[in-house]
Chains A and B, each alone.
Chain A
Amino acid sequence: MLNIKNLHASIQDEKQKTKQILRGVNLTVKPGEVHAIMGPNGSGKSTFANVLAGREEYKTEGEATLDGQDLFSLEPEQRATLGLFLAFQYPVEIPGVNNMYFLKAAVNSLRKQRNLPLIDAMDFLTLIKTKMKEVGMDEKFLSRAVNEGFSGGEKKRNEVLQMLMLEPRLAILDETDSGLDVDALQAVAKGVNSLRNKERSFIVVTHYQRLLNYIVPDVVHVMVHGRIIKSGGKELALDIEEKGYAWLEKEAEA
């Protein structure tokens, strides 16, 4: 489903100097697979996620196709139409915009672009209330502005709620587990696991191994200095938990 070849990404810093972040990432994700990407701070994991979603400040080189379509020729909303979803690490606040209204607008925007009928208001309300129960979110969050005044855990739950409502083909979770207490973590994992099926794929970017106890990955990759230096099964995550990243970096240099 997702094919990434030799992906490079760079950004201009405040002094207009080019900073290389991704240095040749290769990745193939088949339908139904869950891939975890781990790595130390600054390895490029978040950049990778944001570049796939279409963040404009990065300059990219290399190929990335989703279902055969060239991602880099598409605008962010077009990638969303293709079924790409990014759960942000630090979801932004949008004051004045009602959470429920926003979601309905997003759902309908995608339906419109896929030539599907728009969702009925009552159906939408019923659907969203069900999903909110799944992620353990109180209904009062529907009437609040998007992410405004939400705690870290509540913001992450809101991301998962949106994912449940938009039903993507490829969901990229950017450190969705950071800062969550155990209850929130379990709710988030439950939400993600409920979407797992043969057609849908996930890329789970995480800093802490803990999440992978709940969302068991098919493949684990380790990203260091903008490149995937090792891939393996779920045991790899446990190795890292024990030994840290240093041993891998040494291995890569050797």
Chain B
Amino acid sequence: MSDVVASHLGLEHFFEKNSHFTDKKWLCDFRAQQFKQFLQRGFPSRKEEAFKYTEIKNTALPAQSGLARPWQHSEKTAGIKKITPVILTFINGHFSAVLSETASLSREITLCPLSQAHEERVKSYLTREVDATRFPFAKLNAALMTDGLFLEIPKHVKVTTPIYLLFINTQQNHYMTCPRNIIVAHESSQVTVIEEHVGETAQHYFTNVVTEIHARANAHVDYYKLQDEDFTAIHVANVRVEQQQDSCVKTYFLSHGAQLAREDLTIFQRAQGTESYLHGLYSLSQDQQHIDHHIHVDHFAAHGTSAMLYKGILAKKSRAVFNGKVYVHPTAQQINAHQANHNLLLSADAEINTKPELEIYADDVKCTHGATVGQLDNEALFYLRSRGLSAREAHNILTLAFAEEIYSKIDDNSIRHYMRKRMGSHDQF
């Protein structure tokens, strides 16, 4: 009990030290209220269903924030230029103008760090209520949010180049950042956003990020999340998608970093004819590495489509949790909802807990779900080796083949190529 109190105290200091935009009263008041509510709720415990397999102890939270650091685009990020010239960079939570490049983007599109955005434009988004019971870390983020992306695409505008959002963690240990991203695509607009979190020489840090995507009527948004945090880091993310009539959102969650990662993805299909295609590929290669995907799709209106396809590759003593829930409200008739989670266990010690859930309250719907867990096919391995490939090469080829299904769902060739490269060969030898 006293641990809790102690670390709360630590957080309180954290809160005081890190209240940004202290000149905005509405924001300060809001943050204080959120922080209070978080403390009241407390840290999630194993007894809660949503955190049954993923425990994030109060002691895991560092009591200091990230500091600005000089840094240069490294090899890892050099590839970004090949897919887009538009990039917004944050180092340890702080916006880096030097490493960002937005000039090539058309003027009508609003793209800036949150700290530079017009107060009136972002106020309503930032002060939105967060469900502390379901999303405790999003609540904490509401209290402690530092900086992030503000992107607004006007009606009918199709943004042809992808927008890259890069969060780098470097040269500092034991710190926490709370990035906050807001993406608004107005009626009939189109945009692709890639959000990356990468660790470079930073250790034992805690990323607590909240991203919200608003797809207005008939808008199209493709969202990529590349998680490449240091193997000692904790990454907790909350992505919330609000969809209006006829909108189409595609998400791709590609993860292979962090010691402990928790991704909460929530989709709200508010009006008719919406489509949501959710993809995920997680590849764990370290002992004690743990990833947890919690996805929740809420179908409120008729003629909605949602499809979840998540694949996991687990090596050594790693562990993954998948919980995909589709909730169909009684008003949501003629829904097409599909869920699939397939896992490849490359060692006897790897573990997966998978639970696809369907809660259906309308009667004219088509819903399917499936989950599989398997090993590499011995016959296939033998076949490749009989053709001269080493055991390791054969292993890697088959593993890549397993992952390929996700990559094949990426329409853009250069992004697909880039993601394949970034995710690596899944080589566990």
Contacts and interface: CB of A to CB of B under 8 A. Distances in A.
Interface of A: 41, 89-90, 93, 151-153, 178-182, 207-208, 210
A41 B273 CA distance: 12
A181 B220 contact: yes
Interface in B328-371: 334, 336, 366
Interface string B192-218: 000000000000000000000000011
A152 B334 contact: no
B277 A178 contact: no
Given A180-B218, A210-B218, 8 more contacts: A151-B248, A153-B248, A178-B218, A178-B246, A178-B273, A179-B248, A179-B273, A181-B190
Contacts of B188: 208, 210
Contacts of A41: 245
Nearest to B158: A182
Nearest to B250: A151
Contacts, number: 44
Interface of B: 156, 158, 187-188, 190, 217-218, 220, 245-248, 273-275, 277, 303, 305, 334, 336, 366
Contacts of A89: 273
Nearest to B187: A208
A181 B188 CA distance: 8
Contacts of A208: 187-188, 217-218
Contacts of B245: 41, 178, 207
Contacts of A151: 248, 275, 277, 305
A93 B218 CA distance: 22
Nearest to B338: A149
B215 to A, nearest CB: 11
A90 B275 contact: no
A41 B272 CA distance: 10
24 contacts: A41-B245, A89-B273, A90-B273, A90-B303, A90-B334, A151-B275, A151-B305, A152-B273, A153-B248, A178-B218, A178-B246, A179-B218, A179-B248, A180-B218, A181-B158, A181-B220, A181-B248, A182-B190, A207-B245, A208-B187, A208-B217, A208-B218, A210-B188, A210-B218
B246 A179 contact: yes
A192 B339 CA distance: 35
A180 B305 CA distance: 14
A207 B274 CA distance: 15
Contacts of B275: 151-152, 179
Contacts of A207: 245-246
B393 to A, nearest CB: 31
A182 B156 CA distance: 9
Given A90-B334, A152-B275, A210-B188, A179 B247 contact: yes
B248 A210 contact: no
B415 to A, nearest CB: 16
A208 B190 CA distance: 15
